[in-house]
Amino acid sequence: MTPVSATLDRTEDRTGLPTLAVVGATGAVGTVMLTLLSTRENVWGEIRLIASERSAGKRLKVRGEEVEVVAISAEAFDGVDVAMFDVPDEVSLHWAPIAASKGAVVVDNSGAFRMDPEVPLVVPEVNAEAARNRPKGIISNPNCTTLSMIVAMGALHHRYELEQLIVASYQAASGAGQEGIDALYDQLMKVAGNRELGTTPGDVRRVIGNALGPFPAPLAMNVVPWAGSLKEDGWSSEELKVRNESRKILNLPNLKVSATCVRVPVITTHSLSVHARFGREVGVEEAREVLRDAPGVLVFDNPAEAEFPTPADVVGTDPTWVGRIRKSLDDPQALELFVCGDNLRKGAALNTAQIAEVVAKEFTAAK
């Protein structure tokens, strides 16, 4: 779907177009979704905005028009063709099957159904065809860390057959939702202007106090080697998601994946340092060409001119940015790369919008 830059013409004819519900329209992902829906080529008739009881009655702008948010209920899904869910796992677990039972195709951004064998996990540039096989009427959107690299990895896999990924992430605060964004801004305010901080053990902790937000340690002036919840043998849920979801999307059940997930004081845009090993020898120039030709990937890689992706430049953009592309010094079958992707765009809202647009085509074709 081609993005268009201007806000859409509100006089356009939307007759016969499918009805879309955005569930979680008031959240961090939902907010970006409304921007995307206002700037991408329109494929929707009515757009209904749904959130919790707390937000009912709020008015939000989408496609240049104010729309009132309604509280979630079974009736809120009446007549809905496609329902995007940008809500916490437990809310999706409860409400997505209800929306599906009312005839909506659900595109779920939460972690509730990603590993369900009857729910496809879709990245349109990599496995768009998987969206058609959805026995539960639900399609899952991968987590933001996996999504930030998988389009580039899919393109390289297609050429070289991926065997192993060793990944370190540098994840932004907004990966923990609006609460994460608020916590980092508040912490930055607390430390700003104090030129003595960061010099003695615990000084930053003392200034931040218990305003940690969703993070287990201060995030301002710090890096925190933790994202998600504790799973077996010391792994975090986020690290296991990178492994399990990469395997499912690429249809490589035996792919070796080792991830260390780290939170950094960036508002939005996840970065990943990736060691990718393939089934055959790779040429670095050829790999660069493969990535340049891949839809959704932008190669930005000229260290001599200080050109490499950084979150400060990537935030608010759609592609997966790739730089620092090197052939591994000790392994002719491996590449080292640095990848950045806006976790609220391709990492969440954009991928969901793209999946929903794939489904919308089915409705439009059927009419």
Ligand X SMILES: NC(=O)c1ccc[n+]([C@@H]2O[C@H](COP(=O)([O-])OP(=O)(O)OC[C@H]3O[C@@H](n4cnc5c(N)ncnc54)[C@H](OP(=O)(O)O)[C@@H]3O)[C@@H](O)[C@H]2O)c1
Catalytic sites, residue numbers: 144, 270
| Nearer to ligand X (CB atom), residue 73 or residue 251 | 73
Question: Is the Cβ of residue 76 or residue 131 nearer to ligand X in the bound state?
Answer: 76
Angle CA(126)–CA(142)–CA(346) in degrees, nearest 5? 70
| Residue of closest CB approach to ligand X | 27
CB of 4 to ligand X, least distance (A): 24
CB of 345 to ligand X, least distance (A): 9
Q: Report which of 19, 281, 240, 299 is spatially closest to residue 114, judged by C-alpha positions.
A: 240
CA 134 vs CA 209, 230, 348: distances in Å: 47, 30, 20
If the CB atoms of residues 87 and 184 are measured against ligand X, the closer one turns out to be: 87
Nearest to ligand X of 143, 236 (CB atom): 143
Residue type, position 304, single letter: A
Cα angle at 21 between 85 and 71, to 5 degrees? 80
Cα separation of the two ends of the chain: 19
d(CA 273, CA 27): 28
Residue 211 C-beta: closest distance to ligand X, Å? 18
CA angle 119, 121, 123 (to 5 degrees): 150
**Distance in Å, CB of 357 to ligand X, minimum:** 18
Tally Cβ neighbours within 10 Å of residue 186: 13
Provide, rounded to whole angstroms, the least separation between the CB of residue 33 and ligand X. Answer: 9
> Least CB distance from residue 86 to ligand X, whole Å?
4
26 is in an annotated binding site: yes
What is the signed CA dihedral for 82, 88, 90, 94, rounded to 10 degrees?
-20
Q: Which is nearer to ligand X, 19 or 171 (CB)?
A: 171
Helix (H) or strand (E) holding 257: strand 256-263
Residue 87 or 255 having the CB closest to ligand X: 87
Q: Is 174 annotated as a binding residue?
A: yes
Question: Is 205 known to sit in a ligand binding site?
Answer: no
Q: Is 28 annotated as a binding residue?
A: yes
Question: Which residues lie closer than 8 Å to 38 by C-beta, 6 or more apart?
Answer: 7, 8, 61, 62, 63, 64
Enumerate binding residues for ligand X (CB under 6 A).
24-30, 51-52, 54-55, 72, 86-89, 91, 109-111, 143-144, 174-175, 177-178, 343-344, 347-348
Judge whether 175 is annotated as a binding position.
Answer: yes
Q: Looking up tokens 């969206």, which residue turns up?
A: 131
Ligand-binding annotation for 14, yes or no, is: no
Which token pair is 6?
Answer: 């201007």
| CA 325 remoteness from chain centre | 23
100 assigned binding-site residue: no
* Measured CA distances, 284 to 162, 245, 295, 324, 326 (Å): 15, 26, 19, 11, 6
Binding annotation for NADP(+): 26-29, 54-55, 174-175, 343
Binding annotation: 26-29, 54-55, 114, 171, 174-175, 263, 343
Binding annotation for phosphate: 114
